[in-house]
C-alpha cells in the first residue's frame, strides 16, 4: 500500500497536544471583509493529496491527513492561512518538519512559516486532523447514512459557500484551482468514488481497502468529491465530437437496470453540448447516487444525484441535463465570486432549454422557456423577497430563484439580442479562452462584447445589473402608401415591473401581418419610456405584433396558434382558454398575458376599480365567421404552486368581479358581458363574445 511517510511522523509525534477549539457557528460569519479571501495573492495551492484512513459510520467521524502543495506568491511570507471547519487539528507539518505553535479557531488554521522563503518557492504543508464533519443548516456538507458517506460541495446558508473545508484543509474559494489525489480507506464491502479517475486499489493487512483516485485537471475545492457506499458500476464509452469519453455510473446494486433507462440519453447530452459549447474537457463522465433529500451537485466527473432520481424513467432528465451542463458552466469556467453565481446556475438552467431544442424540437424548447419565464414573473420575487439583479445577489440568495430562473431568462434574452450565429460562436470561444479558469460578470460582459463586436453595456446595465423587467408594447401605428411600399410609423411604449429605471438599447422583433397572413419581421431598436420608428414593408398590415417568436423575457408571456376547427384551446402560460364555436376558415390567434398594471380609466369612475396586477391582449387575424368565448383565470391566493396572480383581489367576493374591455390604448375601459365561475379566491371569468383587444379584471 502506497502512503506518504507522514503517517509515521504522526505516530512518532503523538505527544503533541491536539488543538481543540471552542465550537461556534461559522455559518453566521457573513461579512466579506472578515474572510481572508485575498490569499490568492499570497499562496497558490497546486495539489491536494487527501488521505482519509478512517470513516467511522457509528460516530460519523473521519480521521486522516492532507498534503497540500503550495507555491508562495510573496517574498518572505510569514503566515499561511488554511480553511478547516470545526474539526480537530492534531498536528501541522511543513516539508516534514513539525510546526509549533500554530493556531486554529475552528475556522482557520494559521501556520507560521519557519523560514523566510522567496516568492515562487514550493512547500508541502501536511495537516493531521479528525472529528465529525459538519453540515450546512440548509443544504450541503458531509453526510453519513448507514454505510454511506458523501460530501455535497457547497453550503447554501454558509459563507463562503464553498464547502471543501468540511472534510479537508484547503483554500476554500471559487478561484483557487488545484489537482487532486485521494487515498480513501474503507471496509472491504464498500466502494469509494471520487472526482477524476480510479488509479488503483490496495488491499490492506487488516482487511480494509484503500482506493486511489486522481483528478488531473485543476478544479476549485467545491467541485472535489467523495462518495462511499455499496455501489455497482455501469461503465460505457461515449462518442464525443472530439474523442471517446469513458463514462461510469455508480449506483445502488438494486438500481442498475433502472439506471440504464434513466441515463439512456447520456450520449445525447454529450453530443449536443459538445456541438454547442465545444470539447468535453474532463477525463470521464461520471454520476454517483447518494441518499440526499433533494437536488444534486455538479462535482467534477462525479455528479452527485439523489437515489430517488434513478427510477427507470426520464422523470429526472431535466435535473440530469442541468447538472451535465455544469461540465462547462461552472466546472470548466467557474464564477469568480458568489455574486457571479448566475454565470454557473443561470446558464446551466438555460442549457436545459438548449438541449430540449436540439433533441426534442422547437415546440418543447419554447414551452420550457415560456413556463420558466411565467414562473419568474409570477413567483421569483416572492421566493426571493424582492426584485434583485442577477449580479451582486445577497449571500442568502446565491442559490435562489433569481440566480437560476431569471438567470436563464437573461441568457435566453441575450441569445435573441445577438442572434444565433453570434451567440453560439461566442459560446465556443468563451469555453476555449477561459477553460479551467474563473470569470467575473464584468469580464464576462467585456469578453462577450469584444467577441460578438456588440456593445452590451446598456444590455448588462439593464438586464444583469438591475432588478425587475421592462414591458414593451405598441401604442399605435400609422400607414402611408408609397411607390416603394408601405411606410409604417410605429409608436413604442415601455413600462416597468419591479424597477424604476427604464431599459436602454432595447432590441426586439416586430412582425407585420396582413389579411392573407403575409408576415414581415424587422428589428425595432429603442430606449426609454416612449419611442417611434419607421419601417418600409411590401404590404399594408392589419396587425403588428411584438416579439412573436418569444425571444425577449420582458414582462409578458404569450402564446399563438392557428385555429382551424371548433373546440377548446389552451394558451400556455397566459391563464386563458379559448372555446371556438364557429369557424369556416383558419384563424391566427395570439394571447398576450401582460404582467403589469393596465392603464387606469381615462375618465375616473367612483363605482369601479381595475386590478393592478395584470391584463390580457387578444390579437391576430380572425375570419368574419369566427366566433369564440374566452376563459380568463383569476387567483388571489398565496400558493407558490399557482397563486400570487391577483393579490389586489384578496378579500373581495366574486360577485363584485367584472371583466373590462377596450379595443386599444386610445379607448377607455368598458364592462363586457361575462360569467364568473369558481370561489372568491380562484376561478374563471368567461367572456361569451371574444374579440381582439385588451381585457382586465375589475371589481366594484
What is the tens place of the pLDDT at every residue in 635-675?
999 999 999 999 999 999 999 999 999 999 999 999 999 99
Average pLDDT over residues 629-639: 97
CATH fold group of domain 333-467: Neutral Protease; domain 2 (1.10.390)
Q: Give yes or no for residue 112 having a pLDDT over 60.
A: yes
CA dist 162 and 155 (Å) reads 6
CA 679 to chain CA centroid, nearest Å: 36
Q: Give yes or no for residue 98 having a pLDDT over 60.
A: yes
Q: Give yes or no for residue 6 having a pLDDT over 70.
A: no
CA dist 365 and 412 (Å) reads 11
CA dist 596 and 311 (Å) reads 42
| pLDDT tens, position by position, 509-548 | 999 999 999 999 999 999 999 999 999 999 999 999 999 9
| pLDDT tens, position by position, 79-92 | 999 999 999 999 99
Q: What band does 38 get if pLDDT is binned at 50, 70 and 90?
A: low
Average pLDDT over residues 169-179: 96
Per the DSSP assignment, residues forming a β-bridge with 122 are: 71
What number of other Cβ atoms are within 10 A of residue 567's Cβ? 11
Average pLDDT over residues 245-270: 97
Q: Give yes or no for residue 389 having a pLDDT over 60.
A: yes
Average pLDDT over residues 29-43: 54
List Cα–Cα distances, 234 to 226, 258, 288, 289, in angstroms. 18, 11, 11, 12
Give percent of the chain above pLDDT 90: 92
**Containing H/E element for 428?**
helix 420-434
CA dist 409 and 240 (Å) reads 29
CATH fold group of domain 556-700: Chondroitinase Ac; Chain A, domain 3 (2.60.220)
| CATH code, residues 6-230 | 2.60.40.1730
Q: Give yes or no for residue 457 having a pLDDT over 70.
A: yes
Q: In sequence order, what DSSP letters do the residues of 183-202 get, joined into one string? A: EEEE-TT-EEEESSEEEEEE
Confirm if 557 and 368 have CB atoms less than 8 A apart.
no
- ∠ CA 285-288-293 to the nearest 5 degrees? 135
Q: Give yes or no for residue 34 having a pLDDT over 50.
A: no
Q: Give yes or no for residue 19 having a pLDDT over 50.
A: no
Higher pLDDT, 364 or 8: 364
CA dist 135 and 289 (Å) reads 18
pLDDT of residue 656: 97
Q: From 665, 686, 645, select the one nearest 600 (Cα to Cα).
A: 665
Instruction: Spell out the long-range contacts of 438-442 with Cβ–Cβ below 8 A and sequence spacing 24 or more.
Output: 438/174, 438/175, 438/177, 438/220, 438/333, 438/334, 438/335, 438/336, 439/333, 439/334, 439/335, 439/336, 439/340, 439/343, 440/335, 440/336, 440/337, 440/340, 441/339, 441/340, 441/342, 441/343, 441/391
Conformational region of residue 235, where left means phi above 0, alpha means psi within -120 to 50, and beta covers everything else: beta
Q: What band does 445 get if pLDDT is binned at 50, 70 and 90?
A: very high
Confirm if 263 and 273 have CB atoms less than 8 A apart.
no
Q: What band does 403 get if pLDDT is binned at 50, 70 and 90?
A: very high
Q: From 573, 514, 233, 566, select the one nearest 369 (Cα to Cα).
A: 573
Q: Examine residue 160 and say whether the peptide bond preceding it is cis (omega within 30 degrees of 0).
A: yes
User: Strand (E) positions, 99-167?
Assistant: 103-104, 108-112, 122-131, 141-145, 148-152
Confirm if 699 and 652 have CB atoms less than 8 A apart.
yes
What rounded mean pLDDT belongs to the chain?
Answer: 93
Take residue 429 and report the three cell numbers written for it.
470561444
pLDDT of residue 11: 28
Q: Give yes or no for residue 4 having a pLDDT over 60.
A: no
Take residue 582 and report the three cell numbers written for it.
364557429
The pTM of the full predicted model, rounded to 2 decimals, is 0.93
pLDDT of residue 20: 36
Q: Give yes or no for residue 562 having a pLDDT over 50.
A: yes
CA dist 593 and 595 (Å) reads 6
Average pLDDT over residues 397-405: 98
Q: In sequence order, what are the residues at sequence separation of 6 or more whose Cβ sits closer than 8 angstroms to the Cβ of residue 667?
A: none
pLDDT of residue 111: 96
pLDDT of residue 41: 81
- C-alpha dihedral over 448, 450, 452, 454, to 10 degrees? 100
CA dist 548 and 522 (Å) reads 11
pLDDT of residue 294: 86
CA dist 487 and 539 (Å) reads 9
Amino acid at each position: 500500500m502506497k502512503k506518504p511517510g507522514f503517517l509515521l511522523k504522526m505516530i512518532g509525534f503523538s505527544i503533541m497536544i491536539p488543538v481543540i477549539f471552542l465550537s461556534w457557528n461559522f455559518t453566521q460569519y457573513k461579512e466579506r471583509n472578515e474572510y481572508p479571501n485575498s490569499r490568492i495573492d499570497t499562496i497558490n495551492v497546486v495539489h491536494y493529496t487527501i488521505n482519509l484512513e478512517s470513516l467511522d459510520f457509528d460516530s460519523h467521524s473521519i480521521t486522516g491527513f492532507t498534503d497540500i502543495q503550495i507555491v508562495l506568491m510573496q517574498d518572505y511570507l510569514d503566515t499561511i492561512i488554511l480553511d478547516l471547519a470545526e474539526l480537530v487539528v492534531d498536528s501541522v507539518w511543513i516539508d516534514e518538519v513539525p510546526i509549533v505553535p500554530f493556531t486554529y479557531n475552528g475556522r482557520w488554521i494559521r501556520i507560521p512559516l519557519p523560514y523566510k522563503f522567496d516568492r515562487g518557492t514550493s512547500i508541502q504543508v501536511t495537516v493531521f486532523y479528525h472529528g465529525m464533519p459538519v453540515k450546512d443548516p440548509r443544504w450541503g456538507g458531509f453526510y453519513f447514512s448507514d454505510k454511506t458517506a458523501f460530501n455535497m460541495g457547497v453550503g447554501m446558508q454558509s459563507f463562503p459557500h464553498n464547502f471543501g473545508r468540511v472534510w479537508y484543509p484547503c483554500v476554500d474559494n471559487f478561484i483557487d484551482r488545484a489537482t487532486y489525489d485521494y487515498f480513501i480507506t474503507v471496509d472491504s464491502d464498500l466502494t469509494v468514488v471520487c472526482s477524476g479517475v480510479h488509479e488503483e486499489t490496495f488491499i490492506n493487512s487488516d482487511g480494509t481497502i484503500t482506493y486511489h483516485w486522481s483528478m488531473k485537471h485543476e478544479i476549485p475545492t467545491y467541485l472535489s468529491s467523495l462518495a462511499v457506499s455499496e455501489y455497482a458500476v455501469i461503465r460505457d464509452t461515449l462518442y464525443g465530437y472530439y474523442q471517446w469519453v469513458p463514462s461510469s455510473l455508480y449506483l445502488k446494486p438494486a438500481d442498475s437496470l433502472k439506471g440504464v433507462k434513466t441515463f439512456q440519453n447520456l450520449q445525447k447530452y454529450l453530443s449536443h453540448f459538445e456541438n454547442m459549447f465545444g470539447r468535453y474537457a474532463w477525463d470521464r463522465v461520471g454520476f454517483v447516487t447518494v441518499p440526499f433529500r433533494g437536488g444534486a451537485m455538479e462535482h467534477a466527473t462525479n455528479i452527485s444525484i439523489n437515489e430517488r432520481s434513478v427510477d427507470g424513467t426520464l422523470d429526472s432528465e431535466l435535473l440530469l441535463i442541468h447538472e451535465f451542463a455544469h461540465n462547462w458552466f461552472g466546472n470548466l469556467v467557474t464564477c469568480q465570486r458568489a455574486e457571479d453565481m448566475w454565470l454557473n446556475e443561470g446558464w446551466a438552467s438555460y442549457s436545459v432549454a438548449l438541449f430540449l431544442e436540439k433533441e426534442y424540437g422547437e415546440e418543447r424548447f419554447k414551452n420550457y422557456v415560456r413556463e420558466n419565464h411565467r414562473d419568474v414573473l409570477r413567483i421569483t420575487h416572492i421566493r426571493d423577497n424582492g426584485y434583485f439583479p442577477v449580479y451582486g445577489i445577497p449571500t442568502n440568495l446565491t442559490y435562489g430563484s433569481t440566480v437560476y430562473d431569471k438567470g436563464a431568462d437573461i441568457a435566453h434574452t441575450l441569445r435573441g439580442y445577438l442572434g444565433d450565429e453570434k451567440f453560439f460562436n461566442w459560446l465556443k470561444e468563451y469555453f476555449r479562452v477561459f477553460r479551467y479558469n474563473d470569470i467575473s460578470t464584468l469580464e464576462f460582459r467585456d469578453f462577450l462584447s469584444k467577441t460578438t463586436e456588440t456593445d452590451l453595456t446598456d444590455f448588462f446595465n439593464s438586464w444583469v445589473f438591475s432588478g425587475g423587467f421592462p414591458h414593451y408594447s405598441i401604442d399605435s401605428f400609422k400607414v402611408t402608401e408609397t411607390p416603394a411600399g408601405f411606410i409604417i410609423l410605429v409608436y413604442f411604449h415601455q413600462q416597468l415591473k419591479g424597477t424604476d429605471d427604464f431599459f436602454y438599447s432595447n432590441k426586439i422583433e416586430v412582425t407585420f401581418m396582413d389579411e392573407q397572413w403575409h408576415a414581415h419581421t424587422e428589428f425595432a431598436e429603442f430606449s426609454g419610456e416612449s419611442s417611434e420608428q419607421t419601417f418600409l414593408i411590401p404590404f399594408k398590415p392589419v396587425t403588428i405584433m411584438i416579439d412573436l417568436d418569444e425571444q425577449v423575457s420582458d414582462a409578458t408571456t404569450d402564446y399563438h396558434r392557428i385555429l382551424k376547427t371548433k373546440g377548446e384551446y389552451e394558451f400556455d402560460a397566459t391563464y386563458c382558454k379559448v372555446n371556438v364555436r364557429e369557424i369556416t376558415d383558419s384563424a391566427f390567434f395570439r394571447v398576450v398575458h401582460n404582467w403589469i398594471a393596465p392603464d387606469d380609466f381615462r375618465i375616473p369612475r367612483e363605482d369601479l376599480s381595475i386590478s393592478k396586477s395584470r391584463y390580457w391582449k387578444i390579437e391576430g387575424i380572425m375570419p368574419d365567421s369566427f366566433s369564440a368565448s374566452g376563459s380568463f383565470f383569476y387567483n388571489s391566493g398565496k400558493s407558490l404552486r399557482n397563486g400570487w396572480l391577483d393579490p389586489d383581489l384578496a378579500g373581495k367576493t366574486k360577485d363584485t368581479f367584472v371583466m373590462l374591455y377596450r379595443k386599444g390604448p386610445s379607448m377607455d375601459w368598458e364592462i363586457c358581458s361575462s360569467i364568473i365561475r369558481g370561489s372568491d379566491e380562484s376561478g374563471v371569468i368567461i367572456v361569451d363574445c371574444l374579440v381582439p383587444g385588451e381585457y382586465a379584471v375589475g371589481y366594484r
